[in-house]
Amino acid sequence: MATDLPAQLTGFPRLVEASAEVAAPLAVAGDLVANPARHADWLSMHAAFREAPPQVASAGDAFEEQVTLMGIPADIAWVVREAEPGLTALDGAGPMNLTLALRMEVAQDDAGQVRFTIRAGIGGDPVEGPLGATVAASVEEALVESAGRFAAVAAALAADPAESSGTRFPQRTVVHERTGARLDPRTPVLVGVGQVVQRRPDLENGAEDPASLAARALRRAAEDSGAGEELLRAADAVYYVASASWTYRDAGRLIAEQLGADPAETAMSAPYGGDAGQVLINTAGQAVADGRAEVVLVSGAEAGATLAAAQKQGIDLDWPVQERDIAPTTVLGSDREANNGPETAAGLSVPVYTYALIESALRAKAGETPEEHRRTITGLWSRLSEVAAGNEYAWLPQAHTPEQLATPDAGNRMISEPYPKLLCANLQVDLAAGVVVTSVAAATALGIAQDKWVFLHAGAAAYDEWFVSERRDLAASPAIRAIGEAAFAHAGIGPDDVRHVDLYSCFPAAVQIAADELGLPLDDPERPLSVTGGLTFAGGPGNNYGTHAVATLVDRLRRDPESYGLSTSLGWFVTKHALGIYSATPPRTPYRALAPVLLPERARPALDSYAGPGVVEAATAQYGRDGAPEAGILSVLTPEGARVLVRTTQPEVLDCIVAGDPIGLPAQVEDVRTLTITGQERTDLPEPPEPPVLVERRGPVLVITLNRPERRNAIDLRTARLLERVVDAFEADPEARVAVLTGAGGTFSAGMDLKAAAAGQFALTEKRGPLGISALPIAKPVIAAVEGHALAGGCELALIADLVVASTQSQFGIPEPKRGLVAAAGGVMRLTERLPRNVAMELALTGNPMPATRLAELGLVNRLAEPGAVLDAALALAEEIVANAPLSVQVSRRIVAESPTWAPEEAFARQSDLASVAVTSEDAAEGIAAFAEHRAPVWRGR
């Protein structure tokens, strides 16, 4: 050991070192020394990282690494003690009071030879006992091997720079100067924003298309950042909010060409959806946090005003038309049809009519008269107009009083009760917005001042029940509530902590629903619900309003750096939702784009035809350009809780909608064009019917109950579709670990509903196939709780599960051959996999049932229970599973499922590869510690 001992290594009872000559430039070797993330490539003691380490070490950085000492895994908590060019020094602490100092250096001698030296100091119980010399020898051997590996890796990097980490900017921890917070280099920040408003179409000077307007907004964003166009050229991803006024195949590519960027990725949102701006920003933030991108440009634009003016003057605009084979790397969002049949037939394909219908339901929920509610919404919109009056980028920067907004006139004609024009989104605009999302490492390297940084704290997105007519409550949004709760929880704040708010404001109904679900007061003078003025006054640029909202929010947060801002966006008819929380103060937890799981709630069947009694739930009247009502649309709930939409031109009904108040009144529906109000006493709205699939959370266990006892829980198309949604939600929910599938009414399932199938309604879904569940393997454990018999499709349904609990009186069988059919939903195949060949053959060829008691002897049924106690027994089995480490359960299940197809010569290696995920996990260390400490383990699933 050298005599010039650094202070870091003094005091250790054991010191070891190794070195090697390196055939690589000093700079290359120095970069490798500085990169703890590459320990996996050369440090022979390395086993796994517990968390992502820095890619460039900075003094004070901390990370956890599992190393192997004498073949025994040990978790080491490292702190970077020194980080200088060519030197990284780590201080570590491990189990049994183990202390470890690691000092890694590269230097060049007078002859130009680069040498790597690694030294270690070892202390604590493992080395102070009788095995100290053995431990030291083991570490020394590891260092010798590591030095050789280091030299080989450095030489490979010198020969092929593409083998480096791939990052363009130094990935070192960044210290936030104002707060002192230490930031992971991949922390995403908004560094530049730009907006364009073109209130008068410029047809004489070329009339810029939306992509060109977006590029102009991004140039302003680059100027705003202080980094200039170098920032734009550095983009490795360009995201674009799809334009409604002009269709592009890949607008991101056009924008990149205009800005001189060469991105590896271009993304575009689905053609329609006002959630797009926020979704793209959330996605950009996650791409940066994951290290998949370092500079992302997000923009959108509309030139609807220019397009309208050109059409009026008969001018053909020479805007870009891309070739058919051009497409973005990624398309984000859903392009599913917006309306079902009943909605289309009622004329609800235009947003204003649907939102006006929802508005009446909100009024009823608030208990307000039509005049009281008119004052509520015009007061809300008046406050938004005052915000727009101070917004230099607003399309209509003019304040309006509530009285002006409530009064129909030539410039404010009635559209759909209770909305005149100035309470509707203003879509015919020329507007563009751009924001730039970078990592803090990129922002630092590009010289962007920290007072320009606004951090993404949390993003979230979810969808409500897709079709409005099938929602339980027109005046609610479970999805907004869910994304709000998820984002607030992740950011560690609540609604009262948010000082700057922008709620998507296409129509007053959207703002009221969002405010209610997020816990924000509607009329707080200190906290308006928009920073732009909303889609009427700031402008509703197609899908892109959310980008304008965030761009405006950024300026507010820079001027108020201790505060938080919240922005929401939505698409279609309060259907697609996204939210973001921002602040100029660094986040408490690393950014995540969240996708909270919403289990399907009770929905209402939307009827194509109906004749009978009901109660009016909501109503609106559509107006013609002459100011007279043309048609009424009413939502009527049947006594069974279904919904029928009536579109009528009956004068007495129109008069009741416009001059009266039909909400809550009983009605007799003759057909979907005619109804009669049958009384003036308001009645309660009927609850929706129970769904054919019930879902109940019991901690980490999800109980899924087929709920058609009148049909012996046979599965029709509606049930199959709902079952598919429930299974999808189960797989996506990180909190749900085991599902128990059972049936209501003392029976399991009769399988496919043959009566429905005979009428052409087959229980077959696009994704999961027969019964809505059988074509795709489910990624988590499923237990079938079989009361009664499981025959035909019911048997196939039980066989989908990993484990089966059955009644002692149950029978299983596939009688399809008796009906000229085959158990092709997986029945024959799965019986063959899980039973002896001759037994499976008997069941398949005879079609005769077999008792559960016999199948328990043969291993198909895991546990038997007395009739009526099967679900309890299944839940007890589920609890035994969830008591174990999540990763261990997941890996063990995969090995059981996949190993039968492995070749013998590769089986053990493949098992080891899968098992390593669990063996090197935090839970593995926790399990060992809990055993040693005689306590129950606390699993973290990682």
> What is the gyration radius of the CA atoms in the chain, in angstroms?
32
Question: Could you give phi then psi for residue 742, rounded to 5 degrees?
Answer: -145, -175
Token pair, residue 857, equals: 């002897």
Token pair, residue 897, equals: 């499922």
Neighbours of 703 (CB within 10 A): 20
For 871-928, the DSSP string reads HHHHHHHHHHHHTS-HHHHHHHHHHHHHGGGS-HHHHHHHHHHHHHHHHTSHHHHHHH
* Among 516, 519, 694, 688, CA closest to 599: 694
816 catalytic? Reply is yes
* Integer Cα distance of 862 and 783 in angstroms: 10
Residues in the chain, how many?
942
Catalytic residue among 465, 617, 816, 922: 816
Catalytic residue among 105, 208, 517, 796: 796
CA distance readout (Å), 566 to 87, 210, 288, 632, 902: 43, 27, 20, 37, 51
Alpha helices in 426-477, H assignment, sequence order: 440-445
- Position 571: which residue type? G
Neighbours of 311 (CB within 10 A): 11
Burial label for 334, CB within 10 Å (0-12, 13-18, 19+), is: middle
Question: Could you give phi then psi for residue 459, rounded to 5 degrees?
Answer: -130, 155
* Integer Cα distance of 548 and 387 in angstroms: 14
Contact 494, 531 (CB under 8 A): no
CA distance readout (Å), 360 to 201, 354, 418, 461: 37, 10, 8, 26
End-to-end CA separation in angstroms for the chain:
40
* Integer Cα distance of 543 and 151 in angstroms: 54
CA distance readout (Å), 320 to 209, 210, 211, 241, 327: 8, 10, 9, 16, 14
* Integer Cα distance of 549 and 720 in angstroms: 40
Question: Could you give phi then psi for residue 669, rounded to 5 degrees?
Answer: -90, 125
Stretch (H or E) spanning 383? helix 370-389
Identify each DSSP E strand in 787-833 by its residue range: 790-791, 803-807, 811-813
CA atoms 822, 827, 829, 832: torsion sign: negative
Token pair, residue 791, equals: 């025959």
866 catalytic? Reply is no
- Residues 422/423/428/433 CA torsion (nearest 10 deg): 120
Inter-helix orientation angle 545-559/276-289, to 10°? 60
Residues taking part in catalysis: 796, 816
